[in-house]
A and B are shown apart, each in its own frame.
Chain A
Amino acid sequence: MPLNLLYAVFIFNAIVILGSAICSVTARNLIHAALWMVLSFFSIAILFVFMGIGFFAVIQITIYIGAIAVLILFAIMLTRRSMQEQEDKRLKNVWVALLAVGGVLTVLVMTLRQIPIFGESISTTQVDEMVPALGKALTEPAQYGLLFELASVLLLAALIGAIYLAFDRKKAEGEEK
């Protein structure tokens, strides 16, 4: 009985992920599209909980919803002048696109079914030693230690690039005078 209920919740969650992604792509209003994307991120976080890695669920919410979705919404709101501005997003050859995507999906599913791990059942027990193990893996030179430091360099590069692109120095210097 509990297994069936959990399975039903998992199927519902999967439908929410896919449905909100589809709604996000086909929404007329850009802000609605961004909000459907937020719902999609949230249900992916629930998916991580089903897999037993709650740490990634909270990270998903913190970074994807808390930072990236906020950034996207800022970008949308600052570049669109009115709220009601909509675009017509109907593709002309939507059936060709659907066929191509359906083909890729079929190939993917048939390949992934060969891997045994995808047949395991879901649970809600958390893996307690996961976060310390993750921390250990992140700093071991043999495992991911170098990538940990490279990640910080990547963040530095991203920040420098973003400030170079987004920050108008001439305007700033013009104001100082």
Chain B
Amino acid sequence: MTFWTDPINWVLQILENLLASWGLNHVLSIFIINFLTVVIYCTMILVFVFFLIWLERKLIARMQDRLGPNRVGPWGILQSIPDAIKIFTKEYITPVGVDKVIYNLAPIIVVASVLVVWAIIPVAPRWFAADLNVGVLYIIAVGELGILMVMMAGWSSNNKFALLGAFRTSAQLVSYEIPMALAMLVPVFMARSMSLNTIITNQSVWNIVLAPVAFIIYFLCSLAEVGRAPFDLLEAESEIVAGYHIEYSGLKFGMFFVGDFLHAFTISVLGAVLFLGGWRGPGAEQYPLLGFVYMTVKIILVYMLMMVVRGTLPRLRIDQMMDFTWKVMTPLMMGLLVGMIIIDSLIVGLSPWLRTGAFLAFNVIGAVITLWALGKHTMPKPQEFPLEDLNAS
């Protein structure tokens, strides 16, 4: 293997040879290499969040017709560094009566539960940390750990606003988990495997073409999972005064913030992996770095979509949000699954083009019917204004 065909294993081979030449035991050297790799990977991801925060601020600013950070460094790109220094040096104001262990543990585990997802993400053909055969369920499982810790953060703050915010947050996060899990079932169903690598290698036709409705539902549910607009009721200053992280200050609050951005980025990566074909593209099998480039482009596409949605849509109310998930997305997802199963069994032997066309047609028809049904249900009827009343007053 050369650097071009297999970069990660090439580097690891060199490290292994280096450590073996120092006379270390083979198992110990593998242990050290894995440990170092994981530490460097996690650190790089956390540092990358700074760039993401700058990107978000700049783009949202442009969408709102203002400049965004533009003083520190070219285009304000170094803005996150003074922000980080500021947050590092803020005082930790721990209110009285908090449960110290849980209060301090919550931000750590909220960030950890997002970092741990990066263990299974295949960034390029032979460039991934672990290839679990239960990849998709693993993602759902560690998401749940984060939800639990959000609730614990709210409870341990000894503050009724925080507790109420935590209840609402966990009710929202948990309600949007179901359509998301069902939407992630569609790529699993297409690839007949839960392993992310297999899902990518199976996407000769991207899953977004086969099931665009599933992608839309996954995208909306992941917006709600992260707590971004239009679902950011829980952090809105005017609503619940910052929700479950009211009583956190300094870097603990910064950790929630970092976890939020990292979660949004991870969800975009997963959207690219599950629905946009991951690193697939011409020449990616041969040269993994090319696959990395394709993957980056796709991730940026999904992330930009997230930011555009954030910058344009107003906030939903909590009852609208709950209605939306339980009465629109879950039945739609169930109907979609049933339909795709039926179509899949009907078109078993046909050519790939016909299969793609059948799935796509079913999705489009399903989307049109759903939008029509929603429109009939939610649009108010135009009221008839009697003209005489207008003239009289």
Contact = CB atoms under 8 A, between A and B. Distances in A.
Query: A and B from one assembly?
Result: yes
Interface of A: 1-2, 29, 31, 35, 38, 54-55, 57-59, 61-62, 65-67, 69-70, 73-74, 77, 83-84, 126, 128, 130-132
B256 interface: no
A55 B147 CA distance: 21
Nearest to B163: A77
A69 B174 CA distance: 13
A126 to B, nearest CB: 6
A66 B144 CA distance: 5
6 contacts: A55-B134, A58-B140, A59-B141, A67-B174, A70-B174, A126-B133
A62 B140 CA distance: 7
B152 A58 contact: no
B148 A69 contact: yes
B141 A83 contact: no
Interface string B345-370: 00000000000000000000000000
B21 to A, nearest CB: 20
A35 B163 contact: no
B344 interface: no
A70 B137 contact: no
Interface residues of B, number: 29
A58 B133 CA distance: 11
A27 to B, nearest CB: 12
Contacts of B27: 1-2
A84 B140 CA distance: 33
Contact of B138 (A38, A58, A67, A74): A58
B148 A131 contact: no
A102 to B, nearest CB: 31
Contact of A83 (B99, B148, B192): B99
B145 interface: yes
Given A55-B137, A58-B137, A35 B152 contact: yes
Given A2-B27, A54-B134, A128-B133, A66 B145 contact: yes
Residue with the highest number of chain B CB atoms closer than 10 Å, among A29, A35, A59, A61: A61
B23 interface: no
Interface of B: 25, 27, 97, 99, 102, 132-134, 137-138, 140-145, 147-148, 151-152, 155, 158, 163, 167, 170, 174, 177, 192, 194
B148 A62 contact: no
A73 B147 contact: no
Contacts of B134: 54-55, 57-58, 131
Contacts of A2: 27
Contacts of A35: 102, 152
B54 to A, nearest CB: 33
Contacts of B147: 66, 70
B133 A83 contact: no
A83 B145 contact: no
Contacts of A29: 99
Given A54-B134, A66-B145, A131-B133, A73 B151 contact: yes
A163 to B, nearest CB: 13
Contacts of A1: 25, 27
Given A55-B134, A77-B163, A83-B158, 20 more contacts: A54-B134, A55-B133, A55-B137, A57-B134, A58-B134, A62-B140, A62-B141, A65-B141, A66-B147, A66-B177, A69-B148, A70-B144, A70-B147, A70-B170, A73-B151, A77-B167, A83-B97, A83-B155, A126-B132, A131-B133
Residue with the highest number of chain B CB atoms closer than 10 Å, among A35, A58, A73: A58
A42 to B, nearest CB: 8
Contact of B155 (A38, A61, A77, A128): A77
A61 B141 contact: yes
Contacts of A38: 148
A17 to B, nearest CB: 18
Given A54-B132, A54-B133, A66-B145, A131 B194 contact: yes
B133 A65 contact: no
A55 B138 CA distance: 9
Residue with the highest number of chain A CB atoms closer than 10 Å, among B137, B152, B170: B137
Nearest to A1: B27
Contacts of B133: 54-55, 126, 128, 130-131
B132 to A, nearest CB: 6
Contacts of A69: 148
